């Protein structure tokens, strides 16, 4: 009997501790307002990455290869004359393949050879982009496949975007807290996401690249946008 009473007393004591701990945790739950904020900043590009292409066709494999090599060499010399450093010029892709006559059911008759050479150019002076394109085309390039603008120093712009995002989140939280008759007293948690720059000039350039070759290529870098998002849990109190 005594053992049973002791067991019952111990059991009640354990339940009492668990119940009181749960009630205490519930009482200590911190009220928060969860909001998201977005910040966007624009920057002026000061760098560009350009991809030039040289495609040659010839009846003989050696002739196609030599024509391509001569043209690529001429382009590199032209770029060097414009002040582009050797380390900023690299071969991005190179391919060589035979051409087949597939008419009238033919499948294995070789009619010639095609060589394709893509050259990537990093341009540190944004004002040279149009001149680089014109000079490369004059030297024999027959394809311009991409042009990407960038900013060399992104730290200040990323900082500005994050600052704007946090301010946006705080403004939203202040409005909500005021409507509830509360005030913000702290931050419980915060997370962020920042996104790469988005160039708005690339597509318009590609249209200009196909324009009249007798005219100089007009290049407008425009601006690029960096976005940042934050999610903040603000602690509120009376």
Q: Write the pLDDT tens digit of every residue in 152-190.
A: 888 889 999 999 999 999 999 999 999 999 999 999 999
* Res 137: pLDDT: 94
Residue 24 has pLDDT above 80, yes or no: no
CA distance 49 to 120: 7
Between residues 134 and 11, which one has the greater pLDDT? 134
Predicted local distance difference test score (pLDDT) of residue 200: 47
Q: If pLDDT is split at 50, 70 and 90, which confidence band does 213 have?
A: low
Domain boundaries, given as residue ranges, for the chain: 30-46+151-238, 49-148
Query: Is the pLDDT score of 21 beyond 90?
Result: no
CATH number given to 49-148? 3.30.70.2970
172 neighbors 196 (Cβ within 8 angstroms): no
Separation CA 49–CA 158 (nearest Å): 21
Q: What is the pLDDT of residue 6?
A: 53
The pLDDT of residue 26 is: 45
Instruction: Reduce the DSSP state of residue 125 to 3 states and report it.
Output: coil
Task: Check whether 9 has a pLDDT greater than 70.
Answer: no
3-state helix, strand, coil in the chain (%, to 5): 40, 35, 20
Global confidence as pTM: 0.69
> ∠ CA 109-112-115 to the nearest 5 degrees?
135
149: left (phi over 0), alpha (psi -120 to 50) or beta: beta
pLDDT band for 8, please (50, 70, 90 cuts).
Answer: very low
pLDDT of residue 109: 84
For domain 30-46+151-238, give its CATH number from 3.30.110.170, 3.40.1400.10, 3.40.50.150, 3.30.565.10. Answer: 3.30.110.170
Render pLDDT for 90-145 as a digit per residue (tens, 0 to 9): 999 999 999 988 777 766 789 999 999 999 999 999 999 999 999 999 999 999 98
pLDDT tens per residue, range 45-92: 999 999 999 999 999 999 999 999 999 999 999 999 999 999 999 999
- Judged against a pLDDT cut of 80, whether residue 19 lies above it is answered with no
């Amino acid at each position: 009997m005594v053992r049973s009473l002791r067991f019952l007393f111990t059991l009640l004591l354990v339940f009492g501790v668990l119940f009181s701990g749960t009630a205490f945790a519930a009482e200590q739950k911190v009220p928060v307002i969860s909001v998201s904020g977005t910040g966007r900043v624009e920057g002026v590009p000061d760098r560009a990455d350009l991809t030039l292409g040289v495609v040659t066709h010839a009846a003989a494999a050696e002739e196609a290869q030599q024509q391509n090599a001569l043209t690529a060499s001429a382009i590199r010399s032209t770029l060097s004359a414009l002040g582009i450093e050797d380390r900023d010029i690299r071969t991005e892709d190179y391919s060589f393949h035979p051409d087949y006559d597939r008419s009238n059911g033919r499948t294995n008759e070789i009619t010639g050879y095609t060589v394709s050479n893509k050259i990537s150019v990093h341009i540190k002076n944004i004002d040279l982009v149009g001149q680089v394109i014109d000079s490369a085309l004059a030297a024999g390039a027959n394809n311009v496949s991409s042009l990407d603008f960038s900013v060399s120093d992104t730290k200040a712009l990323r900082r500005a975007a994050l600052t704007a995002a946090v301010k946006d989140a705080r403004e939203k939280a202040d409005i909500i807290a005021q409507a509830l008759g509360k005030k913000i007293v702290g931050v419980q948690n915060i997370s962020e996401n920042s996104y790469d720059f988005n160039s708005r000039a690339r597509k318009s350039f590609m249209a200009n690249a196909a324009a009249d070759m007798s005219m100089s290529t007009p290049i407008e870098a425009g601006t690029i946008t960096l976005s940042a998002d934050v999610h903040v849990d603000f602690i509120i109190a009376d």
